Amino acid sequence: MALTQEDVRGIADYARIALEGEELAAMTAYMNDAVAMLEPVLAYNLPDVEPTFHPIGDLSNVMRDDAVAPARDLSRDAALGNAQSTRGDSFRVPSILGEGEA
């Protein structure tokens, strides 16, 4: 079943990408083309085949020493240096629920 523009608006909300107007319409057309292209993979939903999630299959829970690594750790200035809004030693964000200052 084809995805409607309202379906795609819902996906955009989930993906946190604001889409409106012509861009939403174009994205809807793309999503339907792309999903149609994926059709051949559905034939592989086979009960007797195990999925492979990663090419290096036996990797799990890699542990390392719980130690400070000064050569690797970012300084506070470096960590804040690429943010567009900061105040003091913090990242600055708008209010979560609205109402707050811009």
Partner 1 sequence: MMARSFDTLTAAEIAAGIAAGDFSAAEVCVAALDAIAAREPEVQAFLQVTPELAQDAAARIDAARAAGEALPPLAGVPVAIKDNMNLTGTRTTCASRMLETYESPYTATCVARMLAAGCIPVGKANMDEFAFGSSTDSSAYHPTNNPWDTARVPGGSSGGSAAAVAAGMVPLSLGSDTGGSIRQPAALCGIVGMKPTYGAVSRYGVVAFGSSLDQVGPFGRTVEDVALAMDALVAGGHDAYDSTSQEVAPAFAAAAAAAGEGLAGVRIGMVPAFMEAEGLTPEVRRGVERAAQTLADAGATIVEVDLPHVDAAIAAYYVIGPAEAFSNLARFDGIRYGYQEPGCTNLAAQSALSRAHGFGDEAKRRQMLGAYLLSSGVYDTYYYAAQKARTLITADYNAAFAQVDAILMPATPHAAFRHGEISDPTQMYLSDMYTISLNIAGNGGIVVPVGLGEDTGLPMAAQLVAPAFADERLVTYAAAIERGLANGNNGASVLGVAPAFAGKGGELR
Residue 67 as a binder of partner 1 (CB under 8 A): the answer is: no
Residue 82 as a binder of partner 1 (CB under 8 A): the answer is: yes
Q: What is the DSSP letter of 75?
A: P
**Binding residues for partner 1, how many (CB under 8 A)?**
58
Q: Under DSSP, is residue 76 helix (H, G, I), strand (E, B) or coil?
A: helix
Among 1, 37, 67, 68, binds partner 1 (CB under 8 A): 37
Residue 1 as a binder of partner 1 (CB under 8 A): the answer is: no
For the record, the structure tokens of 76 come out as: 């506070």
Site map 14..33 versus partner 1, x via CB under 8 A: xxxxxx-------x--xx-x
Residue 74 as a binder of partner 1 (CB under 8 A): the answer is: yes
Strand partners, 87: 90
Least CB distance from residue 87 to partner 1, whole Å?
13
Alpha-carbon gap, residue 29 to 11, rounded angstroms: 14
Amino acid at 58: D
Among 70, 84, 87, 88, binds partner 1 (CB under 8 A): 84
Q: Under DSSP, is residue 98 helix (H, G, I), strand (E, B) or coil?
A: coil
